[in-house]
Amino acid sequence: MRNKELTYKQIIETAYVMFSEKGFDQTSLSSIASEIGISKPAIYYYFKSKDELIKSLFEIIAKEIQSITFMDLETITPANFKQNLYLLGENTIKHQEKDHHFNHLFNQYMLLSTRDKDYSERLVKIQQHFLNTFHDMLTHGVKIKAIKDENILIKSQLLALVFDNITNFILTDMTLDFIKIWREAVDSVLNGIVNDEQ
Amino acid sequence: MRNKELTYKQIIETAYVMFSEKGFDQTSLSSIASEIGISKPAIYYYFKSKDELIKSLFEIIAKEIQSITFMDLETITPANFKQNLYLLGENTIKHQEKDHHFNHLFNQYMLLSTRDKDYSERLVKIQQHFLNTFHDMLTHGVKIKAIKDENILIKSQLLALVFDNITNFILTDMTLDFIKIWREAVDSVLNGIVNDEQ
DNA sequence: GTCTATACAGCGATAGAC
DNA sequence: GTCTATCGCTGTATAGAC
């Protein structure tokens, strides 16, 4: 007799890894089951279909993105503004270099979204949230007079694009100095609009 | 009796569209065959397996990337340097907005590469070529004294990252002004190192 | 060179025993 | 809650007719 919560947790965790490594289609429910040491129908006790299991994982990913890109604006001052932008990138880069599964899965949902309207709408919202995070950050910078109010919208979109693609490039075997690239991006974008730079 | 070359061409073109819209796994050889109006085994006459058909499409994609990112450095002068960087992005953005299949397929090969060493190595080379294009462009800019020799390597990598992810974002339903973002990227990166700017 | 027919494996999902 | 057994379907791939 197994523990109910344990089994549920094992299915989620095993699916997370296997889906990321082999893809949704190439990972059968039986292979997930045998990896855990249970039978295939046991999975159907927890999830009414394979699609629902895939959807459950999406919810987990979506929540993780929220927490990764969270920024507490209250702690930002003109003195530490640029440093905080550096850190936002550096922390994420270090996090992604440890867990490749996250981005592999996310890419698969991106592909799913082209033929599934639900995923499409959810992903647009996530990307929007993502863009907003950087826009809020720069807007806050203007408000506390850390930077000048010049082209803030486009500049924040540019930062979001760089940030997002750094995580994609980490997945390939490219060995670039991503932290340096991110710092160059922040420096370039803020160049000329930073106040009080000595 | 069908024409041999025509059938081959039809298989390639139909597979290109269907694989991009539904994915490799969700597109069966029978569905491709019936879409064209031939029988499933007919495909096996031209391709010894589904994987080989997928591989053939990869060769086409790889070639297309080479031509998209081609830049004739001979025509670059200090006067048109920045304008050419603008155009490189703008032409690609317009091209991508017309043909979404290209990027959908490319993303699928990115996922395949995580479990297939052949694709992995090929893709790294493509990404490398991609980075080199921008590096060559900026290095050439230094040579013809269009820009100053400051941080050229990182700056070219940054441009490549922005350029690459703009094409990814076009696939989503985000309606951003990508041309403006690209211009901001070029402006930001070149800010302070451009010579002869009035 | 292209077809019909078919082999064979594997999938998602369900029924019903324990 | 988890199992065995099984259904129905679809996939890739091949053999052999024309």
Residues of A with CB under 8 A from a CB of B: 21-23, 25-26, 104, 107-108, 110-111, 113-115, 120, 123-124, 127-128, 131, 151, 154-155, 157-158, 161-162, 164-166, 168-169, 171-174, 176-177, 180-181, 184-185, 188-189, 191-192
Residue A64 has pLDDT above 50, yes or no: yes
CATH number of B60-190: 1.10.357
CATH number of B1-47: 1.10.10.60
pLDDT tens column, A140-191: 999 999 999 999 999 999 999 999 888 888 877 778 999 999 999 999 999 9
User: Are B170 and B97 within 8 A, CB to CB?
Assistant: yes
**How far is A3 from chain B, CA to nearest CA, in Å?**
33
Average pLDDT of chain A is 92
Residue A98 has pLDDT above 50, yes or no: yes
- The better pLDDT of the pair B65, A151 is held by A151
Numbered ranges of CATH 1.10.357 in chain A: 61-190
Residue A100 has pLDDT above 90, yes or no: no
- 3-state class (DSSP) for residue A48: coil
- Alpha carbons B196 and B145: distance in angstroms, whole number: 9
Numbered ranges of CATH 1.10.10.60 in chain B: 1-47
Q: Looking at domain A4-48, which of 1.10.10.60, 3.40.1210.10, 3.40.50.12160, 2.160.10.10 is its CATH number? A: 1.10.10.60
- Alpha carbons B33 and B43: distance in angstroms, whole number: 7
Task: Report the pLDDT averaged over residues A104-116.
Answer: 92
The CA–C1' separation of B29 and D11, in angstroms, is: 9
Numbered ranges of CATH 1.10.10.60 in chain A: 4-48
Task: Report the pLDDT averaged over residues A82-108.
Answer: 90
Residue A55 confidence (pLDDT): 98
Residue B144 confidence (pLDDT): 96
pLDDT tens column, A17-45: 999 999 999 999 999 999 999 999 999 99
Q: What angle do CA B189, B193, B198 make, to 5 degrees?
A: 105
Average pLDDT of chain B is 91
Structure tokens given for A193: 């609009």
- Alpha carbons A114 and A192: distance in angstroms, whole number: 40
The burial of A187, by beta-carbon neighbours within 10 Å (0-12 exposed, 13-18 middle, 19 or more buried), is given as buried
CATH class of the A61-190 domain in this structure = mainly alpha
pLDDT tens column, B114-141: 889 999 999 999 989 989 999 999 999 9
pLDDT band at B2 (very low <50, low <70, confident <90, very high): low
Residue B170 confidence (pLDDT): 85
Residue B197 has pLDDT above 60, yes or no: no
pLDDT tens column, B68-119: 888 899 999 999 999 999 999 998 888 888 888 998 999 999 999 988 999 9
The residue of chain A with its CA nearest to that of B179 is A154
Residue A197 confidence (pLDDT): 57
Say which residues have a Cβ less than 8 Å from residue A24's Cβ, sequence separation at least 6. A50, A54, A108, A112
Residue A183 confidence (pLDDT): 97
The residue of chain A with its CA nearest to that of B153 is A181
The burial of A75, by beta-carbon neighbours within 10 Å (0-12 exposed, 13-18 middle, 19 or more buried), is given as exposed
Residue A112 has pLDDT above 90, yes or no: yes
Numbered ranges of CATH 1.10.357 in chain B: 60-190
Residue A187 confidence (pLDDT): 96
In chain A, residues with a C-beta closer than 8 Å to the C-beta of B31 are none
